[in-house]
Copies of this chain bind each other. A is one copy, B any other.
Amino acid sequence: MRPSQRKPDQLRAIRITRHYTRHAEGSVLIECGDTKVICTASVEERVPPHKKGSGEGWVTAEYGMLPRSTGERMQREAAKGKQSGRTQEIQRLIGRSLRAVVDLGKLGERTVTLDCDVIQADGGTRTASITGAFVALHDAVSGLMQKGLVKENPLKEAVAAISVGIYQGTPVLDLDYVEDSACDTDMNVVMLGSGHFVEVQGTAEGHPFSREEMDTLLELAKHGIGQLVEMQRKALQG
């Protein structure tokens, strides 16, 4: 029995609110149960040095947590003077995941930065960030197309992400914080709408996992991501 009473293959309640803040080209609040992340997409008409003159654009991400998004207050990274290894790992993952669905040539020489800021955390903040950031990116890209700055749609398809893991011997979908803390194997899966993998990151600090367990987890993830992609589609129609 899961602490949240959910079934093993049941997602938490997901809510995607577009146009959440006013200034960004794309701004989404994504809520996955008690995990809440503001994802904004900012367009800037410049590219990093390695893209200058290439005719291609760039998509990148930054991630942060408000100090009291968590049960215990964390030290503010700006005050500490550096981003933790975990933060950097997550923002690199978000950036790679979003770039997987963007044709950088069609985007043109501009940068879209996805800022994912967790205002309340209850597990799964990195996967919620990816799922929400796609919607924000979609809005930013639509704006560029409406203004005629981008001619052809640079988005190849949808991308979303979910965590899976083995909790008390049972493979479960979409771990919340309580499950995440008690579960040795934890896998984050990033997948396209078409069902191909972009990232698979499985970690077993205490309890190594077998090939069979891995197969089950990948199926669960596929099941969940199918639903998330559908929710993204509906939110973008709304």
Contact = CB atoms under 8 A, between A and B. Distances in A.
A147 interface: no
Please state the number of chain copies in the assembly: 6
Nearest to A210: B196
A148 interface: no
Interface stretch (A10-18, A22-30, A47-55, A223-231): A22-30
Contact of A197 (B67, B88, B214): B214
Interface string A184-220: 0001000010111111111111101111001000100
Interface stretch (A34-42, A123-131, A168-176): A34-42
B197 A21 contact: no
B197 A200 contact: no
Contacts of A24: 68, 73
A23 B91 CA distance: 24
B64 A78 contact: yes
Contact of A200 (B92, B100, B115, B214): B214
A142 interface: no
Interface string A51-79: 00000000000101011111101001111
Nearest to A26: B68
A4 B78 CA distance: 34
A148 B40 CA distance: 42
A106 interface: no
A11 B221 CA distance: 32
A40 B68 contact: yes
Nearest to A191: B208
Interface string A108-132: 0000010101011110000000000
Contacts of A99: 205
A82 interface: yes
A62 B77 CA distance: 11
A204 B194 CA distance: 14
A68 B204 contact: no
5 contacts: A21-B69, A22-B120, A23-B69, A73-B115, A99-B205
